[in-house]
Copies of this chain bind each other. A is one copy, B any other.
Amino acid sequence: MNESRIQHGGEGVIGIDAGGTRTRARLADAATGRTLGEGTGGPGNALSVPEDALARHLAEALRGAVPEGGRAAGVTAVVAGFAGGGPGGGREQARRALEAALAQTGVSPARIEVHGDAEVAFAAGPGTPADGLVLIAGTGAAGARVTGRRAVRAVDGDGWLLGDAGSGFWLGREALRAVLRALDGRGPATALAVPVEALCGGLGKERVVRYAYAGHPVRLAELSPLVVAAAAGGDAVAADLLDRAADELAATVAALAPRRGEPLVVTGGLLAPDGPLLRRLGDRVAPFGLTPSAVPDGLSGAVSLARLPR
């Protein structure tokens, strides 16, 4: 039984990855890193989720990772990475919510660390690196330079209205724009019209516009797989969108003043292992002397940071 490991005197650590769509927590053996329990809760963006809801979502995830019993007492360190959890952002709110959630679940570790999501994603890279670059491209997109395990400079991450260039939202919005431009003669025809017609219940500018404004803009990120599929099917407009997205992401890396050979950890739906933009990004950052290391998410990074000796 995994559970006996910590119940009988071993030490445990908890890593938390609190993202825009869900919050995940993992209990691991401090000595070996072996996973002992995992839990999931609601959205964990420290800027957009109210503090009481954030605490509730963290507690949900913690209760999954640390079921009631004797194990909570053995947890020595908790490290959490929050979307929107940067020092100028929601870090203080995130810390208060985390402390409330830990109290609710009976976990009282000697060490609690709050990070931004970029920092835990970076720590998920091979060898738990301390210095280098990290690039996240999922629903949103953001890059950061990490020095001594802390983000010291951020590029983009400005959200759907102002930035997130090359993100899933960006791809989805550009897909609709490409279809509109094809419909009104400003751009070339595209095979994207077929799935967009299916989504919008018909083609024509009015239908597409109505669809786009009928919900929160960020949901347009759901269209990004359509772009990937159309490009795979040979559509030039869709392939150009993927190229442009990778150009934008490479520009974010370039703005971080990369140093040859330093680590570049990448994650998010578009840049995770086997992600649709991973090869394109690799081609574009090779001239900087960088090779992306793709990781599935920041959860393992949070656990790694929690296991570091302090």
Contacts and interface: CB of A to CB of B under 8 A. Distances in A.
| Copies of chain A in the complex | 2
Nearest to A179: B162
A109 to B, nearest CB: 29
A205 B154 contact: yes
Given A158-B209, A205-B158, A251 B89 contact: no
A57 interface: no
A162 B177 contact: yes
A106 interface: no
A99 interface: no
Interface in A16-57: none
Nearest to A217: B161
A105 B275 CA distance: 62
Nearest to A184: B155
Interface string A76-97: 0000000000101100000000
Interface size class of chain A, counting residues whose CB lies under 8 Å from the partner chain: 20 to 34
A88 B205 contact: yes
Interface in A121-176: 153-156, 158-159, 161-163, 173, 176
Contacts of A89: 206
A159 B257 contact: no
Given A154-B184, A252-B186, A255-B185, A206 B162 contact: no
Interface of A: 86, 88-89, 153-156, 158-159, 161-163, 173, 176-177, 180, 184-186, 204-206, 208-209, 212-213, 217, 251-252, 255-257
9 contacts: A88-B205, A153-B184, A154-B184, A155-B185, A159-B212, A161-B217, A162-B176, A163-B180, A186-B252
**What 8 A-B pairs have minimum CB-CB distances, sorted nearest first?**
A88-B206, A186-B255, A185-B255, A155-B184, A158-B180, A162-B212, A162-B177, A158-B209
